[in-house]
Amino acid sequence: MRVSFNTYSNNSISMGMNKDDKAKQKEKKRELANYMKCLGTSKEATVTPLTLMRGIRPNQASVFDTFTKIDDVTREINFVRSKDDWDNCLLEEMEEFMYARLDYEQNPTRQNFDHMEEEMGDIFYTAASIAKDTGIDPEEAFRSTNRKFYNRINIMEKMLRLSPSKTGKDLKECSDTERRALWNTAKRKIYDVQNTRYQIDA
């Protein structure tokens, strides 16, 4: 995620300040400089909040609980204003991740890996924000996808076991063509069952 900072030198203190105000301003700048230095020593480091982020613990709480609290703040300050903004952000984050992955593949350093990981996190965050805008609980959406993959692979194994021509074979031993055929069949079976459920609910 591209972020720009406005930085000020110690010499930019207003001439209208009295001696005590100038001392306080210098102390605040030293404090900020120390926070920034801390961010350069550990990727788990965080800056002590003033007001908006008070009470949020990004390294300790549930990932999605923390996301919800931080996302509420970003909306409060109008960080992203519209559906189109979120859509454009997602495309931008995906592009930035691809460049970061290419950098890592060409030069697999710890720094390049951390950058790649950070860009992937930006994709997750933006996608979760889009979900929230649409009324979707991102955690439940992820849980649903976990169930989907879990069920498809279980059905693939059961279908393989029932196939006379593939007795004793497991999914790891199947060809790509066989696996793809099983995947598509399992996908279709689950879709048909879900349609039945929706018809009952209707």
Kindly state whether residue 196 falls inside one of the protein's structural domains: yes
108-128 residue pLDDT tens: 999 999 999 999 999 999 999
Q: Are both 131 and 157 inside the same structural domain?
A: no
Kindly state whether residue 10 falls inside one of the protein's structural domains: no
61-96 residue pLDDT tens: 678 888 888 788 888 887 766 777 888 889 999 999
* Whole-angstrom distance, CA of residue 176 vs CA of residue 172: 10
Q: Are both 79 and 41 inside the same structural domain?
A: no
In Å, how far are 15, 32, 35 from 10, measured between CA atoms?
12, 12, 16
Give the residue among 139, 7, 143 at the shortest CA–CA distance from 71: 139
Kindly state whether residue 45 falls inside one of the protein's structural domains: yes
27-69 residue pLDDT tens: 777 777 766 666 566 656 566 665 656 666 666 667 888 888 8
The token pair that represents 126 in the structure block: 């933006």
Kindly state whether residue 153 falls inside one of the protein's structural domains: yes
Residues 6+ apart with CB under 8 A from 154: none
157-184 residue pLDDT tens: 888 888 766 656 788 888 899 889 999 9
Residues 6+ apart with CB under 8 A from 155: 186, 189, 190
Kindly state whether residue 9 falls inside one of the protein's structural domains: no
> What's the confidence (pLDDT) of residue 170?
81
* 136 pLDDT more than 80: yes
* Whole-angstrom distance, CA of residue 130 vs CA of residue 127: 5
Q: Are both 72 and 98 inside the same structural domain?
A: yes
Kindly state whether residue 20 falls inside one of the protein's structural domains: no
Q: What length is written for the chain?
A: 202
Residue 87: give the domain boundaries: 61-136
* Whole-angstrom distance, CA of residue 112 vs CA of residue 104: 5
Total count of domains within the chain: 3
